[in-house]
Chain A
Amino acid sequence: MKDTPDRAVPLISLRAVTKTYGKGSAAFQALKGVDLDIPQGQFIAIMGPSGSGKSTALNILGCLDGPTTGSYQFRDIQVEELTRNQRALLRRHYLGFVFQGFNLLSRTSAQENVELPLLYRGAETKVRHAAAREALAQVGLTGWEHHTPGELSGGQQQRVAIARAIVTRPLVLLADEPTGNLDSQRGHEIMDLLVALNRDQGITIIMVTHEPEMAAYAGRVVKFVDGLVDSDVHAIEQKGDR
């Protein structure tokens, strides 16, 4: 990316973040005080059993939800102070999302699906078309621009979803079980693509997964247990081995 990675000032910084759902006796504390720093350019996998709070953490990291207490600093922005619309603008300008279920618009061409985030940015038609074609080329789908999701395989659909996430050149790509709906070979292809994006474009990637073999692609694995960070393993030496 344009910004030079600066290890001293992390891109993302969570401090004592808690998240409580419900109220009174029905209250459930999903996060119980999470501290997490993510420098720019890192590929981080978040793992943990279900109910460990990893999805909640991803929602907060992706600014889809605010923390109940604690602070979340994204660059120089205090995310916990933002309103719903301000968080939406932050997502629009800095974040890209990839979901387990792809979540493409049905009966809509790959090209138009990829253009969607640019429409909300108010990009001109020409710019939109060019950027969407380029993003699709990056995920290896040149020639598939006019196919609808129904005409694409699961792996191809996830590639379209990745193209949609990177078409705005985001700082951070958040992936929620991106290989969960794919067979193992397609899964590995998607992981290779994410690794390439991380390596070649310096996009910070935060991925939630429960498959250790997919987590192994990441340079850092954070394990959540019971709403807390249980382990945080940097595996930089593994990067590029596969």
Chain B
Amino acid sequence: MTQMLLNALLLALRAIRRNLMRSFLTVLGVVIGVAAVITMVTLGNGATRMVADQISSLGSNLLILRPGQQLGPGRDSAGAPSFKLADVEAVQTQVPSLRAVAPVVGSKVTLVAGNQNWQSQVNGTNNAYFTAGNWQIAAGRQFEEDEESAGKAVCIIGATTKKQLFGNTSPIGNEIRVKNFTCQVIGLLQAKGQGAMGQDQDDIVLMPILTAQRRLTGSTDVSTLMLSMRDGIASDPVMEQIRKLMRERRKLSENMDDNFSVMDTKQIAEALSGTIRTMTGLLGAVAAVSLLVGGIGIMNIMLVSVTERTREIGVRLAIGALEHEVLLQFLIEAVVLSALGGLVGIVLALVVCLGLTALMHMPFLFSPGINLLAFVFSGAIGIVFGYMPARRAASLDPIVALRFE
């Protein structure tokens, strides 16, 4: 039995070698199908991991309070009342489960330092921002109490902003021109990298909120509150507590909807990961269809091959090949072809994934499972789509086959 299989394998390999170019074109469909499936799944896994990593880098146990209802159709933040500093203080004092409450207000502003200029996100906030946003100070210091209360023109800048404005020299003590005022750089943030939506988190300038309100936005509004919960606290009751507090402060009656929203970044991360997983599944399914098409390509070529090699099959039968030996040879030929296609596809997927993950700054997660599955599947395609042509070859009448022109 083993000897017979080995012989069939040898015969099949010789037949494939005789027509290398066509063999290659035959399996191209399987190569692309396998590569597509593996690439989709690998990139999907990488994207999921990336989102998870970035959400956790955003800060642990982080809640975000924003004006307006983000969720649901026909609702948006336009027209919803903004928060004031009094709201920030109320949340700070009345929700004990929070360890840090950071108000945020900001806009995209062009900065000038020396002869360099650069556009950055400038946020007005307070020292709680570092806790809530999980930021470390790389050099310099945080805001002093009097700087916050008096709204002094001082700022702490992110790594990207520093690089664009100051290059490799230390920014501490230097001045940046922000719109129509000058502020002194007192600190540098530790670099964080890309955010969940692909934005550069290090392209940022922080200043005391009073400074930003007075000199940048010209209003007393606070656009967002970043709230960091204490460790080991469930987010749902805290969110409910904040919701109640805000409804009370805004005097919303029973039948009125919230005109603000509280979001848990963990929930956002989970929702986002779920979406990515669904997309990965869909794209993988589309790729699997191309694998199926590749299989039909193999069947097509094998049928052509059987017709073209009718005389050869006649010779084999005349020489004394048994029906099942011819069947096995053609079946193995199809399986070897598609399995080789699978292997090439895996290598191709590896190259493509390495390139794309590098290009998209995503982690490359090699999944042995999907690679093995794709390989086994490509072999199975050879069996399924190779059987019919093989059956046809084996059932040929040697006399007719030998006379075939």
- A residues with a Cβ closer than 8 A to B are 59, 62, 64-65, 84-85, 88-93, 95, 97, 99, 101, 103, 105-108, 112, 116-117, 119-122, 164
Contact = CB atoms under 8 A, between A and B. Distances in A.
Contact of B312 (A62, A97, A105): A105
B320 interface: yes
A228 B398 CA distance: 24
A120 B320 contact: yes
Contact of B399 (A64, A116, A117): A64
A84 B7 contact: no
B399 A119 contact: no
21 contacts: A62-B318, A64-B399, A85-B322, A88-B317, A88-B320, A88-B321, A89-B322, A91-B319, A93-B320, A95-B320, A103-B312, A106-B18, A107-B18, A108-B14, A116-B319, A117-B319, A119-B11, A120-B322, A120-B325, A121-B320, A164-B319
Interface in B281-328: 311-312, 314-323, 325
Contact of A103 (B14, B315, B322): B315
B93 interface: no
A89 B324 CA distance: 12
Nearest to A94: B320
A88 B399 contact: no
Contacts of A164: 319
Given A103-B315, A122-B3, A92 B320 contact: yes
Contact of A89 (B4, B314, B320, B402): B320
Contacts of A65: 399
Contacts of B399: 59, 64-65
Contacts of B319: 91-92, 97, 116-117, 120, 164
Interface of B: 3-4, 7, 10-11, 14, 18-19, 311-312, 314-323, 325, 398-399, 402
Nearest to B395: A84
Most chain B C-beta atoms within 10 Å of own C-beta, residue among A89, A90, A97: A97
User: What DSSP secondary structure best describes chain A's contact surface?
Assistant: helix
Contacts of A103: 311-312, 314-315, 402
Given A88-B317, A107-B18, A107-B19, A99 B402 contact: yes
Given A103-B314, A122-B4, A117 B18 contact: no
A51 to B, nearest CB: 15
- Please provide the 4 A-B residue pairs with the shortest distance between their CB atoms, ordered closest to farther: A92-B320, A91-B320, A107-B18, A117-B319
Given A65-B399, A103-B402, A105-B18, A119 B323 contact: no
A119 B322 contact: no
A225 B19 CA distance: 44
A95 B315 CA distance: 13
A70 B402 CA distance: 25
Contacts of B398: 64
Nearest to A84: B323
A96 B405 CA distance: 22
Contacts of A117: 319-320
A222 B11 CA distance: 39
A22 B399 CA distance: 15
Contacts of B14: 108, 112
B280 to A, nearest CB: 44
A36 B316 CA distance: 28
A59 B14 CA distance: 29
Contacts of B11: 119
Contacts of A85: 322-323
Contacts of B7: 119-120, 122
A177 to B, nearest CB: 12
A89 to B, nearest CB: 7
A141 B399 CA distance: 29
A92 B398 CA distance: 13
A85 B398 CA distance: 12
Given A103-B311, A119-B7, A122-B4, A64 B321 contact: no
A90 B398 CA distance: 14
A120 B322 CA distance: 9
A108 B13 CA distance: 12
B16 to A, nearest CB: 11
A146 B10 CA distance: 18
Contact of A91 (B18, B318, B325, B402): B318
Contact of B315 (A59, A89, A90, A105): A105
